[in-house]
Amino acid sequence: MTREQSPQTSPEHLRSAPVAVAPQAGRVGRPLLTVGAEEEYLLVDRVTRELRPEAPKVVAEAAAELGDRVTTEITSYQVEVRTDPHSGLDRFAEQIRSMRAAVARAAARHGLAAVSSGTPVLPQPLPPPLTEGDRYARSAAAFGALDDEQSICACHLHVGVPDLGTALQVGNHLRHRLPALIALAANSPFWQGRDTGYTSWRTMAWARWPAAGPPPYIRSVAHFEGLVADLIATGGILDRGGLYWDIRPSHHAPTLEVRVADATATARDTVLLAAIVRALVDTALTEIEAGRPAFEPSAEMLRAACWRAARDGLAGEAVDLRSHRLVPAASLVEELLTDLRPALLRHGDLGTVTEGWAVLRAVGNGADRQRAAHRERGGLTGVVDHLADTMTAADGGPPG
């Protein structure tokens, strides 16, 4: 989600995103769910591979193809694109690939490359150049040096839900799945030109904000509205758009927004995440209909599990929130996918997820691939080249 986007300036295609009735039949009484994405990219010089503050120029040029589905972000190093809501993953994947290609073409005409990474690879001057606008200025005044690390990029998934109360209930059911999603999507091992020791440094940087990270367990709509009002009143957020929890009801569309993922290196990675997140929401709706309460881990253990996932990714260990023991991270994902099988089958996504997970098991997540590129391509500039190469590859990106 664009951090500075307000309901008044939100694109119409997201504002009206429905829980669409898909052509094929779904579960009786519940249509297939729609899914949409927002992706954020970084602009780098094609020769030096350093960040370049040329987002306004690139956005203006890409808008000839993408219209209001492309926009600027908080820093002038970043470009954001948004899909329409889709009930079929084929159309969703096609739109992700076409948007990436349009941004890459626009960047190339200015001697730049667009890359999709949760953090920049090479060192950058701090603070970064902020995009002009009153709300960006207000953010800098209110939050100071927190804005110094905002040249970080995410992939936000939106799934259509009927109302706020449903969105909040579904969010409660998804909270304990956040560590698995972090491990799957981790794609930010480098920051300021060094390996951080984390697979998702963006997760760690983002967690510093007053209303970021895993959301609290929400008891009711009134509980949620009271929290938002208190955060605004105390200055923790500027407005509803500043609620940066990893799962939140969208403030401008009838969707639940899952914001935990790093910007994904490839279109294939985004499609995999979209299928999993949609299945998570569908599974939660089934549990809610059956009257099954959401699993409620302690805030302390959930935070620790998210930290561990950001550090280890898929290759290390993860926290089992039920036993409070460490388990192989890959087994946590396997358990997740087993639980999601009925929802994946219902939406026709099981093959996509099975294939995508097999690729990740073979070649690693985005962070693993960045580190492999560092070893194989001779340093940090090779990592940037790898990201530029995988940004628009026809199959969604080669594994290496």
Phi, psi (rounded to 5 degrees) for 345 = -65, -45
- Collapse the DSSP code of 318 into the 3-class scheme (helix H, G, I; strand E, B; otherwise coil) and give the result: strand
Q: Is the pLDDT of residue 72 over 90?
A: yes
H-only helix segments in 162-218:
164-174, 178-185, 201-206
Report whether 384 contacts 121 (CB < 8 A): yes
Tell me the Cα Rg of the chain. 19
Mean pLDDT of the chain: 91
For residues 103 and 62, the answer to whether their CB atoms sit within 8 Å is: yes
Domain 7-391: assigned CATH number: 3.30.590.20
- pLDDT at 196 > cutoff 60: yes
Q: What are the residue ranges spanned by the domains of the chain?
A: 7-391
Per-residue pLDDT at 243? 95
Kindly list the distances between the CA atom of residue 135 and the CA atoms of 31, 39, 40, 328, in Å, as whole numbers in the listed order: 38, 21, 19, 43
Per the model's pLDDT, the better-predicted residue between 256 and 31 turns out to be: 256
pLDDT at 9 over 80: no
Q: pTM (2 decimals)?
A: 0.91
CA–CA dist 75, 152 (Å, integer): 9
pLDDT at 223 over 90: yes
- Give the Å distances, CA to CA, from 96 to 30, 99, 175, 310, 320: 26, 5, 26, 25, 33
CB atoms within 10 A of CB 68: 13
111-143 per-position pLDDT tens digit? 999 999 999 999 999 899 998 888 888 988 999
**Tokens at residue 52, please?**
């370049």
